[in-house]
Amino acid sequence: MTQIDPRAFVSPSAKLGNCVQVGAFAVVGDDVELGDGCVVDPHAVIQGPSKFGRKNRFFSFSIVGGDPQDLTYTGQRVRLEAGDENEFREFCTVHRGTIKGGGVTRLGNHNLIMAYAHIGHDCCIGDHVILTNGAQLAGHIVVEDYAGISSFCLFHQFVRIGRHCYIGAGTIITQDVAPFSLIVGDRETRCFGINKVGLERHGFSPERIRVIEQAYRYLLRSKLNTSQAVDKMRETLAESEDVQSLIRFIESTTERGLTK
């Protein structure tokens, strides 16, 4: 049974599924659609047009579905779409898309957006992504599945973050981050190898990890340039789907280049 605190505001145009809970002083705005089992804590704000799947949780003082921070936005009808079982923690912000960026910001399933984190307009977030406290995504960023982003990382617009990578706290990202990689900003931002602990936690076998490590040896520690390293991967590791996905990512890297 849906429960709405009498002190909350729910727009007449909002659509609430079964067993939705809305706490005191929360705001569910115009054209917001909440799937079954969503929980909106006291003082949380959800703006639309936006659509959420099942069992999403909006913690107090989160603001999800706000207007994009873009000077070209003048009230156009743009959207936020999210899947199931995402958590939006205290004071995080997630903005809708812009017309020039396709009109929609997207999140998949089982993502954890921690306190004070920000997802800008037109971002596309996969599944099982962790965005830790204070991490900041500019607009038009793609984050693939199982990426782990630590506190206070800053991301330039249009970069892509590959699946199963881990980015250490306080890192500034201005180039694409390859899948499976471990990135830490020291004096300069560079790749230190693969995210081995994260891959083990997600069930990658030792053999599967060994093959990915070999691919990264070609990429980072050999005297080969990036194109030559890719050719070497194809020559010796072509049977690995993980390596094939790494190659596809590298070959489609944007003009901003690849973090190495």
Q: Which of 98, 110, 192 has its CA nearest to residue 145?
A: 110
Identity of residue 44 = A
Q: Is 41 tagged catalytic?
A: no
Catalytic member of 43, 95, 118, 121: 121
Instruction: Please say whether the beta carbons of 60 and 42 come within 8 A.
Output: yes
Catalytic member of 65, 139, 148, 198: 139
CA–CA dist 113, 91 (Å, integer): 10
Q: Which of 132, 32, 26, 38 has its CA nearest to residue 86?
A: 38
Q: Is 139 tagged catalytic?
A: yes
DSSP 179-201: TTEEEEESSSEEEEEE-HHHHHH
Rounded to a whole number of angstroms, the CA Rg of the chain reads 20
Q: Which of 242, 44, 70, 216 has its CA nearest to residue 145?
A: 242
CB-count burial class (<10 Å; 0-12, 13-18, 19+) for 71 = exposed
CA–CA dist 176, 155 (Å, integer): 10
Q: Is 121 tagged catalytic?
A: yes
Catalytic member of 122, 127, 145, 242: 122
Catalytic center residues: 121-122, 139
